[in-house]
Amino acid sequence: MKYRRLTKEQLEEMHKEFINFLATQSITAEEWADIKKNKPEVAEDEIDVFSDLVWEGVLTKVKYLENISASEIHLFHLGEKEMKLIAIRVSQPGIDLTTKEGFSWFRQNFKTDTVEIMTATKVYSEDKNKDKFGLIEKGAVITKGELFNYFDDMMP
């Protein structure tokens, strides 16, 4: 398995897509029921293959990721050949960026000395989707990029 198995909830949401996936392999509902009952390892393998296909599709399309912790924000733009990072660190004691109050404080104070903003660029490894997946596994979430673009437009 290249990525990670979809959660039970994700699989349930993609029930129709999974049925279509099985159909492309000429597996009927009856055959699937039999496989699950009598060959659970084969069923697990099919779910793993489906999960990888879903992740591959998602990762190919994703353009922006965000990872926000109590004192740091990592904003990623995932380009064709490289990823760009805007890293923001808050040194103000008692501020938690994951709370509404903390983020509100940040919006009013991001130009002060208590907020440090850095940028970096990194070329992907041989497998850029695996690079993207690694960021998601570390807590990044897929976004539309509004926060990245806001700060990117402000940078010199």
Q: Is residue 42 part of a domain?
A: yes
Number of domain units in the chain: 2
Both 47 and 91 in one domain: the answer is no
**Which tens digits make up the pLDDT trace of 75-84?**
999 999 999 9
Both 54 and 80 in one domain: the answer is no
Q: Is residue 77 part of a domain?
A: yes
- Edge-to-edge strand ranges of the sheet holding 64-68: 115-123, 82-90, 72-78, 64-68, 141-143
What are the respective helix, strand and coil percentages of the chain, to the nearest 5?
A: 50, 20, 30
Query: Cβ distance 121 to 83 under 8 Å?
Result: yes
List all residues 6 or more positions away from 149 whose beta carbon is below 8 Å from its beta carbon: none
Please report which confidence band the pLDDT of residue 117 belongs to, taking 50, 70 and 90 as the band edges.
very high
What pLDDT, on the 0 to 100 scale, is given for residue 41? 94
Q: Is residue 2 part of a domain?
A: no
Both 33 and 78 in one domain: the answer is no
Both 75 and 107 in one domain: the answer is yes
**Which tens digits make up the pLDDT trace of 38-75?**
999 999 999 999 999 999 999 999 999 999 999 999 99
* Residue 32 pLDDT exceeds 90: yes
Return the H-helix or E-strand segment holding 58.
helix 40-61
Question: Which among 95, 5, 86 has a CA at the least distance from the CA of 53?
Answer: 5
Output the pTM of the full model. 0.85
Both 150 and 75 in one domain: the answer is yes
- Rounded to whole angstroms, how far apart are CA atoms 80 and 91? 33
Both 53 and 80 in one domain: the answer is no
Q: Is residue 26 part of a domain?
A: yes
Both 141 and 100 in one domain: the answer is yes
- The whole domain housing 144 covers 64-154
